[in-house]
Each structure stands twice: as structure tokens, then as C-alpha cells.
Amino acid sequence: MATAKFQTTLAGSLPKPGWLAETNKLWPTWRQEGAALAEAKADATLLWLKEQEDAGIDIVGDGEQSRQHFVHGFLEQVDGVDFDRKVKMGIRNNRYDAMVPTVTSALRLRARVHQTEARLLRAHTDHKIKFTLPGPMTLIDTLADGHYGDRVRMAYAFAKLLNEEARGLEADGVDVIQFDEPAFNVYMDEAVQWGIDALHQAIEGLRCKTAVHICYGYGIEANIRWKQSLGEEWRQYEKVFPALAASRLDQVSLECAHSHVPMELMALLGAKDVMVGVIDVATDSVETPEEVAATIKAALRYVPRERLLPCTNCGMAPMDRHVAAAKLRALAAGARLACEAV
């Protein structure tokens, strides 16, 4: 009996080519301005679409080529956020300092955020398309509040805006909308108390697949230090997964490759689709297809094959472009290998 192949996808971001932005940086400066920048973003989006398709990735994305950073890309279209009032703030529970803008008045979406790139992708591929948005809790953890005086109220205000954009993306033909919530791994109690409920507001009325990505961050210095402080076993997921299993979200994207996360925690996700991270984004060493297949096989002990989507651990934005492309090929090749073997 022929077994259905695994549906591969990626967590979100991909490196920007050197002609679009500074390379190997999390907050890169654009190399172009105005119309030339818009054109360069579109060119880079199509380039990565081709790379993903050629690699054999099934559910493709825009690689976040049009956003400077996964959080600030969204904020740029939000009225009420003052980018001229940037303050230094410790984020993710003071794991690292960032220069963050300040909320100075009621939040409102000025215009669609990702319509251009969503329609561009839809016009150029028959593959399923996935789009990422920052989650409400991660958003409020990445800016200063000079207006609401209540972080949770501010998060719900963002959830309303995210829902507006998500509905627009669905209308543009997007198949999967994923909310990135690395903050869920830092503020586990709050994630259960209100974080998932805020996500429910963000997905209200959507008929497409919805997902949440929870990770241990990009492979940057501060994250590597943080991970070293977490001990032998990383059990952060244990607190949040049972609540996610009971949530209305369809899919959960998690970190698995080379991670200290005990694999059995995936079983806590109940009937959810699980995007299993089989590519480590914290190292430039490219996985072999055999390594990827081995991670998939190990995960199959806890996730049934029809609900397992091989994926990257996190975004690959700060990596070398050619390393990221090689990792995409390893991901797809490893998934094919695992499919033949089981």
C-alpha cells in the first residue's frame, strides 16, 4: 500500500539576499529605498519561492523577505506605534536588550500589511501557502507601552488587528496562517491564562488552517546563552501544550532537532497537527537527509504520521543564504527518505 508523503514546510523566515538588506543580521538595514525597495522585496520573495519549490518543500511561504523583523514588519502598518520613540528594553524576560518603539495611542491597522506578498505568492505557485504573523503576547513583549497601562489589554487590542490582517490573508488565498509566539516559552503561566485566548481572538472567523509557532529562538548569541541556562531537559512546552491541545488552533510548530526538549512532550498536543522542527537553525552545519529522517522517525513515536509535518526549528533569517537553501533541500530529502522507510 502506498503511503502518503509527508507535507514539508518551514517555520517562517529565510535570509535576505545581500542586494535587499544587510546579511547575517536579525534587524538588517534595507539596501534600497522607495519603489526600488518594493521591487527588490518582490524579487527576493520570488527567488525564495523557486528555491523552496525546487528543494521539494510542499507548503511554501514568502520567507518574510518584505519585513525587517518578524515583529516590526507588522508594527509598521499600525497606527498608535511611534517608531521615533524607541526605548531600550529587556525583552523575553530580559534575555536580551532591544530598541523597541512605543505605543502612544489607541492601536489601529492603517492598511493591509502583507497583501502584496501574499498575492504575489498566490499568483506564482500552486503549492499551499503559509503566512506568519507575530502573536499578541510576543508583540507586547517587543514594545513599550505609553498608552494602555495594561499589557493584557494591549495584547487583546493587537489580537483584533491581527484578526483583520488574517482575514485579509485568507481572502488573498493563503492556506495556513501561523502566529509566532516565542514568548509562550518564557511566560508559560500567562500563555495559559490569557495568551491562547488572545490567539483565539486573532483567528476568529477564519476557515483556513491556523497554527502557532513556539520555539527557543533564532541561533543568535543571547539565545545560545539562554539555552545553556535551561538545564539538561527543556520542559517549557509541558505547561502550555495541554492548553493548546484543548484550543481551537489546528497546528503547533515546535523545536525538536538537536534540542533538549524531551520528545514525549509532543504527545501532550492531542489531536493537533504537529510541525516538527527537524532542521537546527542555530548551526551552519547542514543536516544530512539521514539525520532528518531519523528525527522524523523518532517523532513518529509520539505523533501519528498523518499529523506530522517536517519543518525547521525556527526561522532562518540571520543565516547564510546558501546554508539556508541547503537546509531546505535536506529537509525535503529527509522527509522523502523517512516516507520510504516507514
Q: Residues interacting with Zn ion, by CB under 5 A? A: 215, 314
Separation of alpha carbons 290 and 287, rounded Å: 8
The CA distances from residue 142 to 90, 96, 154, 186, in Å, are 9, 11, 12, 13
Separation of alpha carbons 297 and 290, rounded Å: 10
In whole angstroms, how close is the CB of 214 to Zn ion at the nearest point? 8
Which of residues 80 and 217 has its CB atom nearest to Zn ion in the complex?
Answer: 217
In whole angstroms, how close is the CB of 341 to Zn ion at the nearest point? 28
In whole angstroms, how close is the CB of 179 to Zn ion at the nearest point? 11
Q: Which of 27, 145, 141, 154 is nearest to 85 (CA)?
A: 145
Which of residues 140 and 314 has its CB atom nearest to Zn ion in the complex?
Answer: 314
In whole angstroms, how close is the CB of 319 to Zn ion at the nearest point? 13
Which of residues 49 and 314 has its CB atom nearest to Zn ion in the complex?
Answer: 314
Note the Cα 322 to chain centre separation in Å.
Answer: 20
Residues with Cβ within 8 Å of 107's Cβ and at least 6 positions away in sequence, in order, are 78, 79, 80, 81, 154, 157, 158, 161
Which of residues 177 and 314 has its CB atom nearest to Zn ion in the complex?
Answer: 314
Which of residues 26 and 42 has its CB atom nearest to Zn ion in the complex?
Answer: 26
In whole angstroms, how close is the CB of 327 to Zn ion at the nearest point? 14
User: Checking phi first, is residue 64 left (phi over 0); if not, alpha (psi -120 to 50) or beta?
Assistant: left
Cross-strand pairs, 134: 180
Which of residues 37 and 220 has its CB atom nearest to Zn ion in the complex?
Answer: 220
In whole angstroms, how close is the CB of 281 to Zn ion at the nearest point? 8
In whole angstroms, how close is the CB of 19 to Zn ion at the nearest point? 26
Separation of alpha carbons 23 and 44, rounded Å: 13
Q: Please provide residue 54's backbone torsions phi and psi, each rounded to the nearest 5 degrees.
A: -65, -35
Separation of alpha carbons 126 and 332, rounded Å: 18
Which of residues 244 and 337 has its CB atom nearest to Zn ion in the complex?
Answer: 244
